[in-house]
Structure 1
Amino acid sequence: MNVKILVDSACDLTEEQYNAYGIEMIPLTVHHDDTEYKDGIDIAPKTIYDAMREGKSPTTSQVPLQTFKTIFTAYAEKKQPLLYLAFSSELSGTYQTAKMMEQQVRDEHPDADIHVLDTKCASIGYGLVAIRVAQLANEGASMEELIKMASYHATHMEHIFTVDDLTYLYRGGRVSRTAAFVGTLLKIKPILHVDSGKLIPIEKIRGSKRLLDRILELMDERGVDFENQVIGISHGDDLERAKQLAARIKEKYPVKDVIIEMVGAVIGAHSGPGTLALFFLNSSYK
């Protein structure tokens, strides 16, 4: 029996992609206007971006513990191998909750072939890892092979991104109030990446004209073997700029493909409208 791949909604894949690769998705929660919504199921990311533009502050929460208990138990009882690839543990408590339930279900079902892996990735970077692992799972790869591949691709998945307004990162505790105020005042655009699951600033660009140039320079410095890669781009309701970046990448590199998706409601509630993120396997990948 092939291993089933489970992800959460922070991978920002579409329903069509879940169906195409046989991936099961579990949603995180978005809190907006005193209502709870299932991310990726009953709220559109644009709803959150429009609300943020109006000055509202949606919040998010992790997958409930009982949800993992129900899913893991169901797979254990039907003896179906399950690999849950989790959103970065540095950005959400979902991984820790899943690990707790993994152990509990294993105690109740000693033969359960259930594993939880922290990808330390987010958005389409996380999604690209999930797609690759799901492809191998559908080809009949073993659990050991899948965990090895998932760990390898997750470790080498580069995240390069920028945000349009530092205020949203300040609200999430990623930058100081002073940095957010001064950055907004001076029209400074930060470039950040993800290192071991954490958001790390790389540099600051003044004005947006040079921004795409610098992002492409970083891709050139950090990437490798682009002709064998699918590149990921995600955006915070800024499809035009995402398309511009994709076009420039295709002009410069012989990539296999470029996937463009909107940053989902959960991550978007913290990064804000105008976010632009680029994902590729870095130069230490071979």
Structure 2
Amino acid sequence: MTIKILSDSACDLPEEILDEYNIEILPIVVNKGEKEFLDRATLMPKEMYDDMRNGAVYKTAQIPPHMFEEKFEEIAKKKESAIYIAFSSGLSGTYQTAVIVRDTMKGKYPELDLDIVDSKSASLGFGLIVHKAAQMAKEGKVKAEILKTIEFYVKHIEHIFTVDDIEYLFRGGRVRRSQAFIGGLLNIKPILVFNDGKIVPFEKIRGRNKVMKRMLEIMEERGKSADLKNQVIGINHGDDINGAMQLKKMIEEEFGCKEFIINMLCCSIGAHSGPGTLSVFFLNEKPDKVIEL
């Protein structure tokens, strides 16, 4: 039996990959004032970023329980074996809600075969985990092996990202107004990373080109044991394909990487980081021997 892989819109995988591997995603809720949207369903990232540039403010909310109930009940009725890989619990309550709904539904469907995993990741860092799990499922790997691989990826996936305008971090409640004002005046671009599923400020750099060069330096420092050349590298952007392609070219030239997944940052994350965000994702260790059962 092929294992079904489920995730949510924050995984940022392109539609062609979702289709190729039959990955189902549940949409995170995005709000603009009193209007409610579903990420990548009733609100597309490009539309949101254009609106944000004109001053619009978006907020996010986790996936409502009824969506999980409907999907999990479908899995139970079809007697499928599934894995739901969730957006980091350090940034959203989605993982906890999914676990509560799954455990409650087991009272009605005790045979429900569903594992739920906290990715402790976001965007394409999260997406690379989902992508690998879906590849293994398509190859017919057993659930235990897929879960073992997911566990490795969760522990070793790296996130390095920067925002183009610190004002959006202020709107999303991530920095104080004084920090946003000074940062804008000085053209300061923060570099942020992930630590145990949470966003952590790393450095502040002045100027876009210097930021991208520094991102590569951090990538080299953290990827020394990872065989970067033979990895799938994730690059995401907040409606800045030119910046993403520039970053891709720099990574190709520096590390010889050949395989990339590049996509626009979803609404549920971009609502907080804003247009012009750039990010890169990779493993900091080689998985070859670690994931053998």
Counterpart position of 1:188 = 188
Q: How many residues align?
A: 286
Q: CA deviation at 1:34?
A: 3.8
Q: CA deviation at 1:285?
A: 5.6
Counterpart position of 1:92 = 92
Partner Cα separation in structure 2 for residue 174 and residue 52 of structure 1: 17
Amino acid at match of 1:102: R
Counterpart position of 1:107 = 107
Counterpart position of 2:291 = none
For structure 2, the residue ranges without an aligned partner over 5 or more in a row are 289-293
Partner Cα separation in structure 1 for residue 131 and residue 72 of structure 2: 21
Contact 2:237 2:244 in 1 (8 A): yes
Contact 1:174 1:199 in 2 (8 A): no
> What percent of counterpart residues are identical?
49
Partner Cα separation in structure 2 for residue 45 and residue 58 of structure 1: 12
Q: CA deviation at 1:177?
A: 2.6
Partner Cα separation in structure 1 for residue 174 and residue 209 of structure 2: 24
SS at match of 2:279: strand
Counterpart position of 1:219 = 219
Contact 1:226 1:256 in 2 (8 A): no
Contact 2:252 2:258 in 1 (8 A): no
Contact 1:156 1:284 in 2 (8 A): no
Counterpart position of 1:266 = 268
Q: CA deviation at 1:147?
A: 1.4
Contact 2:10 2:28 in 1 (8 A): yes
Q: CA deviation at 1:228?
A: 2.0
Counterpart position of 1:179 = 179
Q: Map Cα deviations across residues 26-49 of structure 1 (whole Å, 9 max, x no partner).
A: 111222364322211222201111
Q: TM-score with structure 2 length normalisation?
A: 0.93
Partner Cα separation in structure 2 for residue 277 and residue 14 of structure 1: 15
Amino acid at match of 1:267: I
Counterpart position of 1:241 = 243
For structure 1, the residue ranges without an aligned partner over 5 or more in a row are none
Q: CA deviation at 1:173?
A: 2.8
Counterpart position of 1:24 = 24
Q: CA deviation at 1:71?
A: 0.8
1:257 to 259, 278, 285: 259
Q: Map Cα deviations across residues 242-264 of structure 1 (whole Å, 9 max, x no partner).
A: 10010111112222412211001
Q: Does 1:117 align with 2:117?
A: yes
Q: CA deviation at 1:24?
A: 0.8
Q: TM-score with structure 1 length normalisation?
A: 0.96
SS at match of 2:107: helix
SS at match of 1:209: helix
Q: Map Cα deviations across residues 222-253 of structure 1 (whole Å, 9 max, x no partner).
A: 11211220101000011101100101111122
Over the residues paired in the alignment, what is the CA RMSD in angstroms? 1.4
Counterpart position of 1:141 = 141
